Amino acid sequence: MKPLRCPLPLALVVVGVVLSGCQVFQRSEAPVQRIEIPPSAEEMAALATAPPRLTATGTVVDSRVQQLGAELGALKSSVNGTAQDFRTTRAAIADLAGRYQTLVGNITARLQVGTTPGNPELISAWSEAQGLLGQLEQNVGRLSALSTRAAANASTASFLQSSIRSAYRLSGGVDQDHRNLDLLEDDTNRTIVAIERVLNEIADDVSRQSATVASERRTMGSLALSINSGRMYGAPLSTRVAAVPAAVPTRPVPAAAQRRALVTIRFDRPDVAYRQPLYDAVSAALDRNPGVQFEVQGVAPARGEPADQARAANDARRQAEGVVRSLVEMGLPSDRVSLSAATAREASVTEVRVFVR
């Protein structure tokens, strides 16, 4: 692999990785130290597999007490397994996230330095990062499955707690039987607390990781466009979008000729390089008003025979759809952009006009 040549060395720090502008692109092929998340001492005490030591009495109630002790032991074993699987999945997510962020950081650094359009090294790294993001999404699914298991354990624990309390009313027991039931009830209560803690942690992780994966999907779309052009567009547009879109005004929308377009793209030659100016203009509009919405209008020249006008209208709509796709890939939510078509006598070639609504 040949080193990248550049006139001046430039050091960039991205995601804790220092890259030189004259260095060869670094891939994340070095072995990554696995992250272990050990349980806390309180968790180990609460989730000890063995139930409390019970003193056998040989009474009628004792048989029920021993049965409840066995059920508690099985429950704690299940809870312990769920907690262990949760720690393993969380460690896997941390490992994947670290490798993914390293790749994205390296790609971003290379793009900021500047590189060739469609650089195959960056495309390969982007594909690897996309694969890691897919694995992250799979682990979020595993977390959801663990949440179901933890909820089932919570239901079993609640039923067991009720059964233990009912056992106090059984006749034919001695004082030791009630002391045994006290031990079982206390241990069941501690197990319920541990289950609730795991449930809450899983729910938090599912929510956080789902939002992260969705955000990184938009980042990958923006990076793909940047790699294609060989330069960095900027942060995904999603980082500038408000949570709630701005309300569309109820006043009549003026005709295209009376409105001032935010961007006008003239397709007067093949491969028009419009993405960077489009990104800059839309980004600036979102900085002024994060709740703004956009209309992408394909404009065909109103000239020639009807057949020529029909072909021009189809071409204008096709080009407008391509602009919409570019905006979505840049991170703009699809519900913030609408598509329309028009004809204009003053247009000499196919145009796409982007309006702020």
Rounded average pLDDT per 10-residue block, the chain, 357 residues: 39 34 43 47 51 86 94 93 94 94 91 87 93 93 94 95 95 93 94 94 93 85 82 66 53 55 90 85 87 92 83 90 86 87 88 92
pLDDT tens track for 256-308: 446 789 999 999 888 888 888 888 888 888 888 888 899 999 999 888 788 88
pLDDT for residue 243: 53
CA gap 29, 265 in Å, rounded: 42
Q: What is the pLDDT of residue 338?
A: 92
CA 190 to chain centre: 34
Map out the domains of the chain as residue ranges.
11-229, 256-356
Q: Which of 206, 230, 193 is nearest to 137 (CA)?
A: 206
Q: Which two tokens stand for residue 99?
A: 């490798």
pLDDT of 307: 82
Residue 6 has a pLDDT of 39
* Angle at the Cα of 221 from the Cα atoms of 262 and 125, rounded to 5 degrees: 140
Q: How far is CA 149 from CA 143, 195, 236, 267, 325, in A?
A: 10, 10, 37, 56, 40
Distance of CA 160 to the CA centre of its chain: 38
State the sign of the Cα–Cα–Cα–Cα dihedral 115, 327, 14, 38: negative
d(CA 170, CA 190): 24
* DSSP H helices in 230-289: 275-288
DSSP 8-state symbol, 335: G
Report pLDDT for 39.
54
Long-range CB pairs of 266-272 (<8 Å, 24+ gap) are 266/349, 266/350, 266/351, 267/315, 267/319, 267/349, 267/350, 267/351, 267/352, 268/348, 268/349
pTM attached to this predicted model: 0.61
Give the architecture-level CATH label for domain 256-356: 2-Layer Sandwich (3.30)
175-229 vs 60-113: helix crossing angle, rounded to 10 = 20
Q: Give the separation between CA 71 and CA 64, rounded to whole angstroms.
A: 11
**Which segments of 166-283 are extended strands (E)?**
263-266
Cα-based distances in Å from 230 to 43, 200, 276, 292: 51, 44, 11, 29
The pair of three-digit structure tokens given for residue 288, joined into one six-digit string: 């002024």
Give CA–CA dist 162/156, Å, rounded.
Answer: 10
Amino acid letter, 308: D
pLDDT of residue 31: 41
